Structure 1
């Protein structure tokens, strides 16, 4: 039970037993690596991020300085995450393939986020102000054991988040931003006992975050850190500013200088840097009703079960909200939530950024949870993930066996043209993770462990079950519905044997990257005189305008079978002056003699 005024909780040493290392590592590794390999880049952000990485890996130094997708500048985010992904493609693309190799960068950022989150919580959990009540005859937990237990809980809470499953396995800049926010959080915590080391970590985190996103996000975090340093007295604000800020500026300045000095055309470099600096200003604006409505419907589900536990922590530690274990996570969490309110367009891609500080804050609620709350979390998670796992298995059986017929027909109606195949390895993995889920639930309910991390074990194991089942039993179906492979290859086959280049019209970054990678199309810009047009037509825009002596003729059209709202059309430029005139029709009953 929390004692807000004295900042103490009452715990025995038995309540701070650490989670078995093998179980914790198994959950982290299985959850992190599942879904990274054996699939195509998916629309939309996943394919776009991969497209930039692939362009850098196969391109020149100019591409590394100014990231692009087959010539189209990509200035929405900084280049750092793309540099890491392109490096992985160059190192391992020959063994794994470019798509799978690029997701090694995702795995690297994921494991780094887990490590920074764990160590930040561990350092906070060892501090004197959060230690449990010291009994007269002993029996309270050791400071290190208490910190380790809280760190295990923070990591389990982070992994239990529902929204981490999809977004945490994509090749997007946000997975790197997530890691650098966790790094900055660790730097703030580390500065409490080692100011210089912590300031260096903070500077490295903020500089890397700037190179992975844009200037607005790190600037807002920096302002929040300044305010947090005034509210939380143990933070060495002067050291953080004088050491961390110059390091962050030096990292960003190095890239800007290299881009300006190394660019073939200085004007292109200035334009690229200007667009990069302006993108954040186009991303954020005044709060709008559609965005607020989207946040209200999706943010709480995305961050379940992290947000209710974090809210409980805020209430439980009401007498110590300026203490580091509450103030430091809030220093980064509040500005991130504020930026979500200012988004101009609704989307969940940035929801992932709030998870590290929210998980650290939530970890300190674990010693204060009542038995009723613990049971509620356990039974809700048990019920939800058991129903979800049973549903996945039921739908897979229907898809595989054709029974029940109506259910199987509905599945294939959503994926027209999909050919289901029985994969022994995928089924065995799904069976193993289902068995592991049953054993974990049985152990949790039968043993009734007293450790403070017990409320989130079933939640973390449940999200692992959910993700592994989806990425084994349903991976072919999901991949078929979210890839552009088939339509891109069909467009490639329709191309004439000789063509100058293909000019894309209304094609997004994900579509452009997918057609270039899967179809090997040679794209060009408006000034390249392309003789092929490839248009994305979500509605009927009519035929392209012809010019004197030339005509655009339709040579192919297609779409992804799983998406009825999109359609691609390919046109070839035909010179009417050189085209052979049509031969006149003969009267009925006659035949044309050979020439």
Structure 2
């Protein structure tokens, strides 16, 4: 028997304009008015910027002004570079690259909504008919579940930072959601068109961040089709698989033919993919559970409840398909030797969709507990953000002010009236939402997650308005880049370096530092990145010329980083 029994009043859908406004309110803060940050954000932007201002070789062999970066695939960077080409003159290169990030996020959000809608209107998901009628219509039920899935997705803590970065991960998570949508369409209507669409999304996913995850998803879909839908299996093998292979191979084959910079990134890209496969370790398992609990909050409690509530109908597509995607992502994360947050990101779309089908069966007591937890935790967090900002602006409370300036020495706070108004309005809106939820006690399905989502958006908006100058000061290399540029006699001087991708991108963009070309060079300047604990530079300079004498022109670092150090040397004798 189905576990769902609902009246039509519980399926009131959110207005489409309100959902779109919520998505825009989520994605815009954190993209406007900041520099590329010391994360994958700056490295990803560096690849896009190099492509946009480089030649066809840079598009075929991703690099950051000469530093090869073939590991993840070029698709996300192609999109960012195209945006820089089209809009860089209007909004600046950094913001133009983030237009692609906005597109990635909207693509993922739409895919999650429509996937849940299609699953929610299927006959096996419908609530039991009431004795005297009044149960919801299939389309209304599907729309309400889709609203819930999108709210849960926006409320996931792990999505916040990664969805605001110019990185391959931002596109990867959206393509996982799009692949879910294509899989549902293929299951509903097996045809050449839907099979081609499914294969295309898998191929694009492979060009974004490697073929390991899409291969796992394809194997999972094949197994699921073999067990539940034999009609789908034929289309998967005959059209989806060849399409995915053709798209995946298109970039490596073109690079092998064109030979950018006298070679091809194919070998390094394949090596990186193979390095993502290893035996699971206890360390990896600990990492998954330690970080996955908060990363996928609040999706995983609702998703777990959905699996339990529908345990007697586990073969139903709305449970089996997202659960399969989730299991594949978990397995890929466990066999990966790289324990980074990016490997957890693809599990959010299937979890959000699965969680939506747990909403109709949640007990009122559990919903109230989630609401009160959200209200207390997120209201406290928002209050702390406000108090910290007041301390930073006024010096009171003194201890908080000292801590803030200790983490960012030299930072000078300025009052931004527009940011203050935006933060105040967002806080007032949060109070209104909390009052509406607790006083009206609506019966709509998405009531269980509206406070969690609204609170997360509030805290992020407060951080990206009140605290953005402080965060940007601590995470940007703009100041260091400008110092280096002042010490170089001309913008055409060649600079060898051992700096990482983030630093290389920032110095080239902000300081117009001309690093050694792709195939290396014999430069008269060397920029070293090391630790303050390192005193001897002889060994570090050895790779740049044996028996060469160097003189140090400059030494510096970001004020917020006490360990990292940069030193600029000039060749004085061969």
| TM-score when normalising by structure 2 | 0.96
Q: Tell me, which stretches of 5 or more residues in structure 2 are unaligned?
A: none
1:94-113 alignment runs, 5 A limit: 94-113=89-108
1:253 deviation in Å? 2.8
1:238 deviation in Å? 1.2
CA distance in 2: counterparts of 1:553 and 1:130, whole angstroms: 73
CA distance in 1: counterparts of 2:91 and 2:219, whole angstroms: 43
1:312 alignment counterpart: 305
CA distance in 1: counterparts of 2:503 and 2:218, whole angstroms: 36
SS of the equivalent of 2:187 reads coil
1:336-415 alignment runs, 5 A limit: 336-415=329-408
- The answer to whether residue 191 in structure 2 is matched with residue 199 in structure 1 is no
1:496-515 alignment runs, 5 A limit: 496-497=489-490, 500-505=493-498, 507-515=499-507
- The answer to whether residue 524 in structure 2 is matched with residue 528 in structure 1 is no
CA distance in 1: counterparts of 2:84 and 2:237, whole angstroms: 37
1:122 alignment counterpart: 117
Contact 2:61–2:260 under 8 Å retained in 1:
no
SS of the equivalent of 1:533 reads strand
1:235 deviation in Å? 6.6
1:584 alignment counterpart: none
CA distance in 1: counterparts of 2:493 and 2:4, whole angstroms: 73
In structure 2, do the counterparts of structure 1 residues 498 and 17 end up closer, same or farther at CA, with 3 Å as the change threshold? closer
State how many pairs are aligned: 567
Contact 1:55–1:70 under 8 Å retained in 2:
yes
Contact 2:129–2:135 under 8 Å retained in 1:
yes
- The answer to whether residue 51 in structure 2 is matched with residue 56 in structure 1 is yes
CA distance in 2: counterparts of 1:549 and 1:223, whole angstroms: 56
- The answer to whether residue 419 in structure 2 is matched with residue 419 in structure 1 is no
1:9-48 alignment runs, 5 A limit: 9-48=4-43
Contact 1:183–1:201 under 8 Å retained in 2:
no
SS of the equivalent of 2:342 reads coil
In structure 2, do the counterparts of structure 1 residues 80 and 563 end up closer, same or farther at CA, with 3 Å as the change threshold? same
Contact 2:550–2:571 under 8 Å retained in 1:
yes
1:39 deviation in Å? 0.6
1:573 alignment counterpart: 571
Contact 1:337–1:354 under 8 Å retained in 2:
yes
1:435 deviation in Å? 0.8
Q: 2:537 aligns with which of 543, 560, 571?
A: 543
SS of the equivalent of 1:555 reads strand
1:392 deviation in Å? 0.3
In structure 2, do the counterparts of structure 1 residues 573 and 377 end up closer, same or farther at CA, with 3 Å as the change threshold? same
CA distance in 2: counterparts of 1:115 and 1:458, whole angstroms: 21
1:180 deviation in Å? 1.1
CA distance in 1: counterparts of 2:492 and 2:86, whole angstroms: 33
In structure 2, do the counterparts of structure 1 residues 279 and 548 end up closer, same or farther at CA, with 3 Å as the change threshold? closer
CA distance in 2: counterparts of 1:184 and 1:564, whole angstroms: 44
Larger radius of gyration: 1
1:221 alignment counterpart: 217
CA distance in 1: counterparts of 2:473 and 2:187, whole angstroms: 50
1:10 deviation in Å? 0.7
1:279 alignment counterpart: 272
Q: 1:131 aligns with which of 122, 126, 131?
A: 126
1:437 deviation in Å? 0.7
Q: Deviations over 1:532-565 (max 9, x none)?
A: 1111112415123577884111111111111111
1:588 alignment counterpart: none
1:456 deviation in Å? 0.5
CA distance in 1: counterparts of 2:431 and 2:19, whole angstroms: 17
1:558 alignment counterpart: 556
Q: Deviations over 1:146-198 (max 9, x none)?
A: 01111011001101111111111101101111111111100111112222243
CA distance in 2: counterparts of 1:498 and 1:275, whole angstroms: 32
| 492-501 or 42-51, which deviates more | 492-501
CA distance in 2: counterparts of 1:500 and 1:469, whole angstroms: 42
| 491-500 or 382-391, which deviates more | 491-500
Contact 1:186–1:198 under 8 Å retained in 2:
no
Contact 2:225–2:233 under 8 Å retained in 1:
yes
CA distance in 1: counterparts of 2:230 and 2:359, whole angstroms: 24
CA distance in 2: counterparts of 1:549 and 1:364, whole angstroms: 68
SS of the equivalent of 1:390 reads helix
CA distance in 1: counterparts of 2:445 and 2:260, whole angstroms: 59
SS of the equivalent of 1:529 reads coil
Contact 2:60–2:260 under 8 Å retained in 1:
no
| TM-score when normalising by structure 1 | 0.92
